Amino acid sequence: MSAATPSRETSNTVRLLAPGVVWMILFLVAPIMMILYVSFWTQTTFAINSTLTLDSWKNFFGSEAYVGALWTTIRLWLIVLSLTILIGYPAALYVGLLVKSKTVSTILLVLCVIPFWTSFLIRVLAWRPMLGKEGAINIILQKLGLIDSPIEVLLFSELSVIIGMTQIYVVFMVGPIAFMLGRIDRNIIEAARDLGAGFGRIFWKIVLPLSLPGVVVGSIFVSVMVLGEFATSGALSGRKVNLLGNIIVTQVGSLKWAMASVVGVILTILLGIVVAGFLRIVDLKREI
Amino acid sequence: MTQSEPIFRLEGVTHKYGDLTALDGIDFVAEDNSYIALLGPSGSGKTCLLRVIAGFEKPDTGRIWFQGRDITDLPAHERGIGFVFQNFALFPHLTIFENVAFGLRNGALKISAAEITDRVSSAIEMVGLSGMEDRSPDQISGGQKQRVALARSLVLQPKLVLLDEPLGALDANLRERMQTELRAIRERLDVTFLHVTGSETEALAMGDQVAVLDKGQIVQYGTPEAIYDSPALSDVALFLNRFNLFDGRLDGAIFEGPFGATPVSSVRANTSDVYAIRYDRTRIFDADVVDLPGPALPVRYLASEYLGSSIVFLFETEDRKTVEVDHHLSLGEPRDLTVGEKYTLSWDPAQAIVFGKETAR
């Protein structure tokens, strides 16, 4: 081959990359830049103009309600993430490792996905008749005589938001973990047993490290979705829990584009930090 | 061989997978400090037997004794029996050093860090992998993985190591080298190897003792010489891949086969009447020769295979059965044969082994 090869290769690479790059610039990079830009615009009650100002940013960090929403978002995210891991990991362990038949484990995974056959909003709203003052849980507990008066904290509280989000997102944790667990060679676990390791040792030294990439991928899925959430908190908190997502919705609703952009930028940065942090735990490139 | 305490003993061990009987009432006593090859065709239950001894499967009935102790109900991690997997089953996320150290770090006994380093280093040195401690399992070759798997078991100083087709995943060249090395390593340590294989050459070459497993039963146990020279059943002879076997009919002291009726001196109990003569005891004569050493089997010459130290001649009988003749080249140059020509095969009847349904004799 002649000296033309490298340059031809380069031009081929450029041609293959171009559509994707153009798409990403138009629909990802440009909008994000626009949001960043708009966050510095001047907002008046009924209009917005492109005079640059830090007012919206000062407004955000000066307001207890906004900063509180940031902390609520982080707190709820950490709680929901922990719960999805705590509930999802054992389920994945069962589906991916303890069930010996591949058919059964596929059936179980499909069962996990069945709730997704109904729309997101219905899944969220279905929690109301479950958790309400006269909802299924309270009625059953009262009939059993375990409680005298209904538990009110179940619905329209932070707890109901946590319950709802955990139920909706736990499957995104189960899937990737079960997949990684399913790839573990059974002989490896038997070899560890043969070398004298008991169940606990095998879990901590073999099973957990080998399934960690699944936990990281699941955590990224759950984090991205929970951090941007507004519907579950809107429907199940009775407006008591305000997440960054809810603020964006209300600000956009009242045409406060600059403030909505500030929150959007903060949310994007937060997501970037979280995802980058997870990727530092495991080298995902090695797993693909 | 000296009389010694058996290292392990199986009493009527039976194991079923659903309707399939993998192990059918196995009784077996293994001597201490020996190399035992367990030979069986695929599906004979040999891997199942290893898994039962290791404790990965529980036998339906029967007891397993190890070093004078009944271990039938003991979980695998408390048995102290080494296991080398066919695919090596190294821990992919740990270095070679940590793979070998795993049993020392995670076993029931607390072992000091200094002792772990010492023992792991010497185990790695023993299998010839010094300098590779920090590599990960995907950075080493198949033969090296095999050595790591072996070191990982041996570092715990077990009295019994089970090897499940340990050479099956290696290429032919490496297989031969590892055969020698496995034997050498075992001789240096006071340990019994139970080596499962489907290859008769491997079993005969490696075992001090060879056990032949067929349909979930041990059908013969003895030295490689004993098994090679006098297979107990026609199935063993078939599996050894060293015998021409002829179906026929045994009537008293006369065997009627494709080579006519021939007198037999002794008969072994079997499920059918079979006449066996080793490949290298079968000799080739021209079709018209009359002073044969024994029975005359008319055949047609098909082809030959040159194996370096010997030549294998393939013939076909009148009923289209392939017969092999093994001519060792140290016995002189082989004769020239013409493909398609008719010849007569014959042998010394005293060297034949006859299996018969009639067990009277």
Nearest Cβ partner for A206 among B81, B91, B152: B91
CB B299 within 8 A of CB B317: yes
How distant is the Cα of B5 from the closest Cα of chain A, in angstroms?
24
Q: Report the half-sphere exposure of B106 (CA within 13 A, side-chain side).
A: 24
Give the Cα separation of B144 and B137 in Å (integer).
Answer: 9
Largest CA distance in chain B: 80
Contact A191 B108 (CB under 8 A): no
Please report the domains of chain B, with CATH numbers, ordered by start residue.
Answer: 6-233 (3.40.50.300), 235-356 (2.40.50.140)
Smallest Cα–Cα separation from B40: which of B293, B236, B183?
Answer: B236
Smallest Cα–Cα separation from B105: which of A197, A204, A193?
Answer: A197
| pLDDT for res A226 | 95
Q: Is B143 helix (H, G, I), strand (E, B) or coil?
A: helix
**Residues B91-134 pLDDT 10s:** 999 999 999 999 999 988 889 999 999 999 999 998 889 999 99
Looking at every residue in chain A, the average pLDDT score rounds to: 90
Question: Distance of alpha carbon B354 from its chain centroid, rounded?
Answer: 23
**Residues A63-112 pLDDT 10s:** 999 999 999 999 999 999 999 999 999 999 999 999 888 899 999 989 98
Q: Please, what is the angle between helix B113-126 and helix B142-154, to 10°?
A: 140
| pLDDT for res A41 | 93
Strand B283-286 to B249-251 pairing: unpaired
Confidence of residue B220 (pLDDT cuts 50, 70, 90): very high
Task: Note the helical H segments in B135-279.
Answer: 142-154, 172-188, 200-206, 224-229, 234-240
Largest CA distance in chain A: 87
CB A39 within 8 A of CB A56: yes
Q: What is the mean pLDDT of residues B241-260?
A: 87
Q: Is A162 helix (H, G, I), strand (E, B) or coil?
A: helix
Nearest Cβ partner for A198 among B77, B93, B152: B77
Q: Is B86 helix (H, G, I), strand (E, B) or coil?
A: coil
- For B32, residues 6+ apart whose C-beta sits below 8 A from its C-beta are B4, B5, B6, B7, B159, B192
- For A28, residues 6+ apart whose C-beta sits below 8 A from its C-beta are none
How distant is the Cα of B157 from the closest Cα of chain A, in angstroms?
11
Confidence of residue B358 (pLDDT cuts 50, 70, 90): low
How distant is the Cα of A194 from the closest Cα of chain B, in angstroms?
5
| pLDDT for res B137 | 94
Q: What is the mean pLDDT of residues B213-235?
A: 90
Tell me: ipTM over 0.90. no
DSSP track, B48-63: HHHHHHHTSS--SEEE
| pLDDT for res B360 | 46
- For B95, residues 6+ apart whose C-beta sits below 8 A from its C-beta are B133, B134, B135, B136
State which amino acid sits at residue A38: V
Give the Cα separation of B269 and B3 in Å (integer).
Answer: 29
**Residues B169-211 pLDDT 10s:** 788 888 888 888 899 999 988 899 999 998 888 898 888 999 9
Would the pLDDT of A115 be above 80? yes
Cβ neighbour number for residue A28 with a 10 Å cutoff? 10
CB A243 within 8 A of CB A69: yes
Residue of B nearest to A209 (CA): B93
Question: Per-residue b/e over A202-240, b at no fewer than 16 CB within 10 Å?
Answer: bbebbbeebbbbbbbbbbbbbbebbbbbbbbbbbbbeee
Looking at every residue in chain B, the average pLDDT score rounds to: 89
State which amino acid sits at residue B174: L
Contact A206 B56 (CB under 8 A): no
Residue A260 belongs to what H/E stretch?
helix A257-281
Would the pLDDT of A258 be above 90? yes
Q: Please, what is the angle between helix B142-154 and helix A186-194, to 10°?
A: 30
The sign of the torsion formed by the CA atoms of A38, A42, A44, A48 equals: negative
Give the Cα separation of A88 and A95 in Å (integer).
Answer: 10
How distant is the Cα of B180 from the closest Cα of chain A, in angstroms?
25
**Residues A207-251 pLDDT 10s:** 999 999 999 999 999 999 999 999 899 889 888 888 999 999 999
State which amino acid sits at residue B100: V
Helices (H) and strands (E) in chain A, counts: 16, 2
With tokens 């009639």, the residue in question is B358
DSSP letter at B20 equals E
**Residues B21-60 pLDDT 10s:** 889 989 999 888 899 999 988 888 888 999 999 999 999 9
State which amino acid sits at residue A93: L
Would the pLDDT of B80 be above 50? yes
- Please tell me the pTM assigned to this model: 0.81
Task: Note the helical H segments in B127-199.
Answer: 142-154, 172-188
How distant is the Cα of B221 from the closest Cα of chain A, in angstroms?
27
Q: What is the mean pLDDT of residues B64-87?
A: 92
Would the pLDDT of B1 be above 50? no
Would the pLDDT of B359 be above 70? no
| pLDDT for res A5 | 65
| pLDDT for res B101 | 96
Confidence of residue A1 (pLDDT cuts 50, 70, 90): very low
Would the pLDDT of B331 be above 90? no
Give the Cα separation of B234 and B185 in Å (integer).
Answer: 35
| pLDDT for res B269 | 85
- Give A-chain residues touching B79 at CB under 8 angstroms: 194
Contact B87 A201 (CB under 8 A): no
Q: What is the mean pLDDT of residues B286-291?
A: 84
**Residues A7-40 pLDDT 10s:** 778 888 889 999 999 999 999 999 999 999 999 9
Q: What is the 3-state secondary structure (H, E, C) of B278-333?
A: EHHHCEEEECCCCCCCCCCEEEEEEEEEECCCEEEEEEEECCCCEEEEEEEHHHCC
State which amino acid sits at residue B222: G
- Give B-chain residues touching A197 at CB under 8 angstroms: 77, 102-103, 106-107
B266 burial (CB, 10 Å; 0-12 / 13-18 / 19+) is exposed
The sign of the torsion formed by the CA atoms of B110, B115, B121, B125 equals: negative
With tokens 């949310």, the residue in question is A267
State which amino acid sits at residue B289: V
Q: What is the mean pLDDT of residues A131-145?
A: 90
* B interface test, pick of A180, A189, A195, A204 with most B CB neighbours within 10 Å: A195
Identify the bridge partners of residue A54 per DSSP, sorted by sequence position. none
| pLDDT for res A241 | 87
Contact B75 A187 (CB under 8 A): no
Confidence of residue A287 (pLDDT cuts 50, 70, 90): low
Q: Which two tokens stand for residue B351?
A: 């060297």
